[in-house]
């Protein structure tokens, strides 16, 4: 468990204030705006969701199916209040945070060596730490808020991660995250076709395969999450389902239709070769209806949770 060259990050990001102290040291206050948490926040100002065209911003850099899901999720954070210092559990390559937030996130943590180093290029964090979220190097109650975007479903030792996340958050700190839910596998379009023609065994095999490709360990309902979170020290304040069965079908088929993007990535090192509006006009137009779906979606395949550390 090692931090990603803390002194170098601190010097390079000197405008963001001092770097936070690790678990064994003394906490330092970051020179960023601190806002009062709003315990009733959900999407407090729906107009903020329209402040940016997140769909186009994500389409410029990602395969269309991933861009659609990330764009929808980016829009939800616009009305949420996350006081500093902010903790991102599973920051990945940093692309999501760099597009979603106007200010730098104080700390991004991720165990993947390649991604955590790629995140430095996006300059969306004041500090990046390479570590397992079940063994965070920060001291008790250091962070005033936290989030984890489409990460927790990929973690086999989830309970340990949640307990450790609660430890490093202050009592009363908001923690928001999104994950696939119980509708994800049920509404996969190809599996539903097999169900309709009586090939339920094949439908089951397809669901298992797609879940494995997606690297999902958890696709659970709110009741399961409520028990899991309560055991770790969190209370759910609000949640909503999003991503309709039609939107899920676009994501599902995008895994197969996105082959050209994968080839582009292998050859040129990026998913989209020409990230211009004229080149992205067709997918932008076709996906717009899903991006603008109202919430909540009763049969949505994903759930966004607003929780609080008790």
Is 138 within a domain?
A: yes
Q: What is the biggest distance separating any 2 CA atoms in the chain, rounded to whole angstroms?
A: 63
CA 166/CA 143 separation, integer angstroms: 10
Distance of CA 298 to the CA centre of its chain: 21
Q: What is the mean pLDDT of residues 258-262?
A: 87
Can you say whether the dihedral through the CA atoms of 57, 35, 131, 226 is positive or negative?
Answer: negative
Q: What is the mean pLDDT of residues 61-83?
A: 95
72 close to 292: Cβ distance less than 8 angstroms: no
Indicate the range of 24-33, 93-102, 202-211 predicted with least confidence: 24-33
Is 32 within a domain?
A: no
pLDDT surpasses 50 at 143: yes
Is 56 within a domain?
A: no
Q: Kindly report the number of other CB atoms within 10 A of residue 1's CB atom.
A: 11
CA 169/CA 1 separation, integer angstroms: 20
Is 110 within a domain?
A: yes
Sequence-distant (≥ 6) Cβ neighbours of residue 169 within 8 angstroms:
87, 141, 142, 143, 144, 145, 146, 175, 309
Q: What is the mean pLDDT of residues 87-105?
A: 96
- pLDDT value of position 150: 96
Q: pLDDT category, 40, cuts 50, 70, 90? A: very low
Angle at 54 between CA 52 and CA 57, to 5 degrees: 110
- pLDDT value of position 47: 57
- pLDDT value of position 271: 85
Q: pLDDT category, 5, cuts 50, 70, 90? A: very low
Q: Show the domain range for 106.
A: 2-6+81-237+244-266+303-309
Domain count, the chain: 1
- pLDDT value of position 13: 32
Of 234 and 20, more confident: 234
Q: What is the mean pLDDT of residues 84-94?
A: 97
User: If DSSP codes are grouped into helix, strand and coil, which group holds residue 77?
Assistant: helix
Is 151 within a domain?
A: yes
Percentage above 70 pLDDT, the chain: 84
Q: At what angle do helices 245-257 and 277-291 cross, to 10 degrees?
A: 150
Q: What's the chain's average pLDDT?
A: 86
Cα 255 to Cα 11, 126, 249, 250, distances in angstroms? 40, 33, 10, 9
pLDDT surpasses 80 at 15: no
Is 116 within a domain?
A: yes
CA 199/CA 157 separation, integer angstroms: 34
- pLDDT value of position 50: 60
Query: First vs last Cα of the chain: how many Å apart?
Result: 28
Is 274 within a domain?
A: no
125-130 vs 105-110, strand pairing mode: parallel
CATH code: domain of residue 167: 3.40.50.150
pLDDT surpasses 60 at 200: yes
Q: What is the mean pLDDT of residues 256-275?
A: 88
Of 25 and 169, more confident: 169
User: If DSSP codes are grouped into helix, strand and coil, which group holds residue 91?
Assistant: coil
Q: Kindly report the number of other CB atoms within 10 A of residue 237's CB atom.
A: 16
Is 176 within a domain?
A: yes
Q: Provide the 8-state DSSP code for 195.
A: H
- pLDDT value of position 34: 28
Q: What is the mean pLDDT of residues 161-175?
A: 98
User: If DSSP codes are grouped into helix, strand and coil, which group holds residue 182?
Assistant: coil
pLDDT surpasses 80 at 66: yes
Percentage above 90 pLDDT, the chain: 78
User: If DSSP codes are grouped into helix, strand and coil, which group holds residue 84?
Assistant: coil
Indicate the range of 40-44, 98-102, 250-254 predicted with least confidence: 40-44
What is the value of pTM for the model shown? 0.83
pLDDT tens, position by position, 203-233: 999 999 999 999 999 999 999 999 999 999 9
């Amino acid at each position: 468990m090692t931090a990603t060259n803390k002194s170098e990050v601190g010097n390079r990001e000197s405008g963001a204030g001092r770097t936070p102290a690790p678990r064994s040291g003394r906490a330092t206050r970051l020179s960023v705006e601190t806002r009062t948490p709003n315990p009733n926040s959900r999407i407090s100002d729906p107009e903020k969701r329209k402040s940016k065209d997140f769909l186009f911003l994500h389409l410029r850099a990602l395969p269309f199916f991933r861009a659609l899901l990330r764009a929808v999720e980016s829009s939800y954070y616009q009305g949420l209040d996350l006081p500093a210092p902010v903790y991102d559990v599973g920051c990945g390559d940093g692309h999501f945070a760099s597009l979603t937030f106007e200010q730098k996130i104080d700390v991004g943590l991720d165990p993947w060596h390649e991604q955590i180093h790629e995140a430095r290029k996006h300059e969306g964090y004041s500090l990046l730490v390479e570590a397992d979220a079940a063994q965070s190097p920060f001291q008790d109650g250091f962070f005033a808020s936290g989030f984890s975007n489409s990460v927790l479903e990929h973690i086999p030792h989830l309970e340990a991660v949640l307990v450790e996340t609660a430890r490093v958050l202050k009592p009363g700190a908001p923690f928001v995250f999104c994950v696939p839910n119980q509708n994800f596998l049920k509404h996969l379009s190809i599996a539903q076709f097999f169900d309709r023609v009586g090939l339920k065994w094949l439908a089951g095999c397809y669901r298992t395969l797609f879940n494995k490709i997606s690297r999902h360990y958890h696709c659970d309902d709110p009741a399961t999450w409520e028990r899991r979170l309560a055991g770790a020290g969190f209370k759910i304040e609000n949640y909503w389902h999003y991503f309709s069965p039609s939107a899920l079908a676009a994501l599902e088929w995008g895994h197969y239709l996105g082959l050209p993007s994968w080839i582009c990535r292998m050859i040129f090192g990026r998913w989209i070769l020409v990230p211009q509006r004229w080149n992205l006009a067709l997918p932008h137009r076709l996906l717009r209806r899903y991006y603008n779906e109202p919430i909540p979606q009763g049969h949505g395949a994903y759930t966004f949770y607003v929780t609080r550390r008790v």
